[in-house]
Chains A and B, each alone.
Chain A
Amino acid sequence: MSPTAIALAIIFFIVALGSAIGFYAGTRHKMSLEQWTVGSRGFGTLLMWLLMAGEIYTTFSFLGASGWAYSRGGPALYILAYLPLSYVVSFFVSPLIWDLGREHGLQTQPDFFLARYGSKYLTGFVALVGVAFMIPYLQIQLTGLGIIVEVASFGGIGRTRAMILGVVLLAGFVFVSGIRAVAWVSVLKDFLMVIAAVSIGLYVPHLYFGGVGPMFAEMARVNPGHLVMPGATKNLGHTWYVSTVLLTALGAFMWPHAFGAAFTARSANVLRRNCVVMPLYNITLAFIFFIGFTAFLEIPGLGNGDLSLLTLVRQALPPWMLGVVGGAGALTAMVPASIIILTASTLFAKNLYRPVFAPAMTDDQVARLARGMVVALSLICLYFAIYSSTTLVSLLLLGYAGVTQFFPGVLLGLFWKRVTTAGVFSGLISGVACTAFLILSNRDPFGGWNAGFLALCLNGAVTVLASLAVPVKTGARTEDFSAGGSGRF
């Protein structure tokens, strides 16, 4: 067999195995809307851990992190910092969200806004913003999938065709199985990814330099500037680092799918324990950085840094290993992509379409509409993935800048009685508008600061000021909320 055939065969085998696990897990449970979206709130520590790991460690950490270590250098270190810190935030916030979820039967992030603020228009807007900024995140996964097959086939299967194939598989998978399937496929995915990351991260520097230490010694001799900020960039210095780490650490659990994951836990303590353990999982990212830096020394001059990991693997390792890495990478794209599609389509059907356009819909009809949206959204993302050429990290930062704008509404909603619907609405609009303006007009970073972080500050200030400006209207909903739930607000 030719190297291409071996690599591709192994990739397809791994993907097929993952899909089989997914379909199997899905057929064992009857699918109501609640089972499909939140697994009937029955996930214990293990399954919960798998789900959270499944959605946090994506093809981005695989290709994007090594890509930035390769093309940007030092600034990529923000990736090591923000995930552990996001669990620190989540430790305090997600158990409260879970509590409310159980009490009010919440399934999605906009459900939370509805329960807290009682406005279906705010809820619809939250759903819309959530879906809009999940599209770049989904695009990351599809682009990743395309890159993997393209490199593994030595260019034989083009990126577009690979992405189309990936979308078909993905949609079918989500359609049949729902959230429980996703959690189980991530077992296979994480196992493969950790093995691949650690073994390649140690082997590749060893092969070319005799070890990780000598590799970094060579880096420090040849180009020490690449190892610290701003690395190969002009404007990603320490101010950018601090603002980006803060933005992404606060935002990690504002992703509608990560927020929704809190509802799948069996108890609030499951979530707390997860937040104690999960930071450790990030250590594997260091190995991904080793690969990126080795690629920087060994195969300089790639136009797209996102290709560096796989290109180096293709050059240094036998084809079957490229197949394993590619298969692991494909699953790290498919698992999060499934979760994202699942969440986005539920958001659209349940929180935007039904309340605003068709209040008479039953839960079953919503579930059907959500499944229809799975197909529609997959096609939209495929379109963007084919016709855009942004790097994976830039897409991720765009998504983060958008979804983090929910943070003031969530945090103040939980801890501050005085916050009003109008305040949150105006804060969210100004935050999203500011993000969109700064990023679309290429002003990110703005004066050395992460644009999304500046928008977040504006958002928070507007929310607080607008809430204080209007005298408290003791709306029935808010009143009920702060008095009820055993005085939890």
Chain B
Amino acid sequence: MTRPSFGAICLAIIPFLAMCFSVSLWDRVHPMVLGLPFNLFWLLSWIVLTSACMWGVYRLEAPRIANAEARRHNAGRAE
């Protein structure tokens, strides 16, 4: 089984810290950014940054998954 790597999990936890657990730090109206209340601006920024984090996770995981699949394939042929 290809368990996710430590780095990938750390990267994936970042959006949870930013959008969920830290709510009391950013749930404010001021300072308004780009005309938006701060909490709305924060969440919108993190929607984009979540995709960025997941792109990083994908880059970290893709080679490992490909390796694992190649190994499984070879093992299948050996039998």
A residues with a Cβ closer than 8 A to B are: 74, 77, 80-81, 84-85, 87-88, 91-92, 95, 211-214, 216-217, 219-220, 224, 227-229, 238, 241-242, 245-246, 249, 268-269, 272-273, 275-277, 279-280, 282-283, 286, 289, 415, 486-489
Contact = CB atoms under 8 A, between A and B. Distances in A.
A74 B39 CA distance: 9
A80 B28 contact: no
Q: How large is the interface on B (under 10, 10 to 19, 20 to 34, 35 or more residues)?
A: 35 or more
A85 B20 contact: yes
A479 to B, nearest CB: 16
B36 A212 contact: yes
Contacts of B48: 279-280, 283
17 contacts: A74-B27, A74-B39, A77-B27, A77-B40, A84-B46, A219-B37, A220-B30, A228-B28, A228-B39, A238-B27, A241-B20, A249-B20, A269-B62, A272-B61, A279-B48, A487-B1, A488-B1
Contact of A77 (B35, B43, B61): B43
B54 interface: yes
A280 B46 CA distance: 10
Q: Do most interface residues of chain A lie in helix, strand or loop, or is the interface mixed?
A: helix
Chain B contact residues, majority secondary structure: helix
Given A81-B20, A217-B32, A489-B1, A280 B44 contact: no
Nearest to A487: B1
A85 B21 contact: no
A268 B75 CA distance: 20
A213 B19 contact: no
Interface in B3-42: 3-4, 12, 15-16, 19-21, 23-24, 27-30, 32, 34-37, 39-40
B70 interface: no
A88 B12 contact: yes
Contact of B72 (A91, A246, A286, A486): A486
A249 B1 CA distance: 24
Given A84-B19, A85-B15, A85-B16, A275 B39 contact: no
Contacts of A77: 27, 39-40, 43
A242 B21 contact: yes
B34 A227 contact: no
A219 B21 CA distance: 26
